[in-house]
Amino acid sequence: MSIAWNAFTPASALIGGAIIGGAAALFAVLNGRIAGVSGILGGLMRPQAGDISWRIAFVAGLVAAPLVWRLLAALPEIRVDASVPVLVAAGLLVGVGTRYGGGCTSGHGVCGVARASPRSIVATLAFMAAGFATVYVARHLIWQ
C-alpha cells in the first residue's frame, strides 16, 4: 500500500464530512429520523399515506444540490470509469443489498456509527470489506 498524496484531500474531506454530519444532525433534531438514503428511497416502493412527502423532499434535496451548485460555481471533478454493463450490475447489487442489509453508507456508515449502533458497525465493516475485496479483485487480479 502506498498513499496517493496527490489525490488525498484532507481539508475538503473533513469539511465535507462535517457538512454531511450536519445534514444528518439536522434531520435527527428536526425530523427525528435517520438520514439513510437507501431506506428513504426504498420506502417509496411501498408508499403509505403520510409517509411519502418527506421522503420525496429529502431525495429532491439531494438531486437539487448539484443543480444549485452549478448556478454559483463549476461542479467539482466527477469521473465515472465503470462501463454501462458494470454500472447496471453494480446498481442492482446496491439496490438489493442496501435493502436487505437495512442501510447504506449514510444510514449505517454515518448515522449508525455516530449512534454507536452495534448493528451498523457490523454492517459498515461488512460493506467496507466487500468493497475493498471487490476493488482488489477487479483492479489487481482481473485487469493486470
Q: What is the DSSP letter of 102?
A: T
What is the CA 101 to chain-centroid distance, rounded? 14
What is the footprint of another protein within residues 80-119 (CB under 8 A)? 80-82, 84, 86-106, 108-111, 113-119
Give the whole-angstrom CA distance, residue 64 versus residue 60.
Answer: 6
Give the whole-angstrom CA distance, residue 36 versus residue 110.
Answer: 9
Determine if 66 is a binding residue for another protein (CB under 8 A).
Answer: yes
What is the footprint of another protein within residues 39-58 (CB under 8 A)? 39, 41-43, 45-46, 48, 53-55, 57-58
Give the whole-angstrom CA distance, residue 91 versus residue 85.
Answer: 10
Determine if 32 is a binding residue for another protein (CB under 8 A).
Answer: yes
Determine if 74 is a binding residue for another protein (CB under 8 A).
Answer: no
Rounded to the nearest whole angstrom, what is the least distance from the CB of residue 141 to another protein in the complex?
Answer: 10
Give the whole-angstrom CA distance, residue 125 versus residue 129.
Answer: 6
Rounded to the nearest whole angstrom, what is the least distance from the CB of residue 52 to another protein in the complex?
Answer: 10
Determine if 142 is a binding residue for another protein (CB under 8 A).
Answer: no
Determine if 1 is a binding residue for another protein (CB under 8 A).
Answer: yes
